[in-house]
Amino acid sequence: MRRARHPRAAVLSVLVLGLGLVVIPATAGVRAAEGAGTIPRPDRPPTALQRVLDEAVRQGSPGALAQSRTYGTVRNLSSGVADIRTRRPPRADMRFRAGSVTKTFVATVILRLVAAGRLELDDTIGDVLPGVVPEPGDDTITIRMLLNHTSGLYDYTLDPRVEQIVVSDPTHCFTPAELVRFAAEHPLSFPPGTSWAYSNTDYTLLSMVIEKITGRSYAQEITRTLLRPLGLRDTYFPGCSPRIRGPHMSGYTRADPAQPEIEDVTTYNPSFAAGEGDMISTVGDLNRFDTALLAGRLLPARLLRMMLTPTPGSFPGSDTFRYGLGVVIATTSCGVTTYGHAGEIQGWQTWMSGTLGGRHAMSFVLNSDWLDQGGIIIRAVNAEYCRTL
């Protein structure tokens, strides 16, 4: 489930100049106690997901934090540290950069606009945002194709100019329109609708669609229609602000995977991920959102079914993952299907998931970005949703 590395990782290393390097062994980690009030599920050992977190720390992540919600019980589990200088343990109230988990929030707002009759899934980019994408994409790429990554649009994060701008001016405040322009100067990867490829440009465009239809930015509309009604008080969009407000985990990266040095990259301007990966949240807020979505509280049943329907050919070669409309569908070894999204942004790797009906949800975060995210997700969902690892 790990995305291919792109200039985002290299770009942000420049933001830690002056912060210095902290040298720790790649396998170092301090086990933190389970969160207060942890109650084991009665039908299996409570240690399965904990073992996954502990293993992530043994592999080199400074810390790991998870929360599961099921049978009326909330379990907070952690391992390692939230900050390697203070040695603070991770806590469930700590915020982090959620990366591409942002996409599920964007997709939900888009589908709510469809439900309200203000947008159609088969509307083209040209219908809503004329002139933003040149032909042939303008009149052939639909809202549905953006949602399920079958547009063929070039991923703007691969354009070296994004890195060049961040290097020369780390305070530069990117807009979605600016990021889409980088992508629009590249040819389509394939004719729209004929193949599948994950592209961050799809969701940056969808954030522009939200603003065009509602007159409010994607951040304002998500806050107004999702965050406030659901009481997600610890989730917000930072815009171009480099700081994470309130209690938070520190994020770390390794400039050279072959070396033990890690860099603190907690503080940076995330606008290079505008509309597709810039949200800040907590494991509890992610679980509450996914639970509400999968319980049918946010979308009509017809549109929720569409959202959760796998896209043919998505994640080719994987037996575990498929992509719907803004959701990653993961099938466990015991046959349980979960719906959510993965997120990876400099300093953090995140996962949000839940079962249909919203009765069981689990989210986790690592405050590192160099481990095998897909492998950890597979182990975590099997640990949480099956009786054994």
Catalytic site residues? Answer: 100
Report how far residue 254's alpha carbon sits from residue 260's, in angstroms, rounded to the nearest whole number: 8
Interhelix angle 102-115/283-294, nearest 10 degrees: 30
Instruction: Provide the 10 A C-beta neighbour count for residue 14.
Output: 13
Decide: 365 and 248 in contact? Cβ < 8 Å. no
Report how far residue 335's alpha carbon sits from residue 207's, in angstroms, rounded to the nearest whole number: 34
3-state DSSP assignment of residue 129 = coil
Report how far residue 384's alpha carbon sits from residue 389's, in angstroms, rounded to the nearest whole number: 8
15, containing H or E segment: none
**Spatial CB neighbours of 175, under 8 Å, sequence gap ≥ 6:** 271, 274
Strands of 8-108, DSSP E = 21-23, 63-70, 73-80, 96-97
Residue type, 234: D
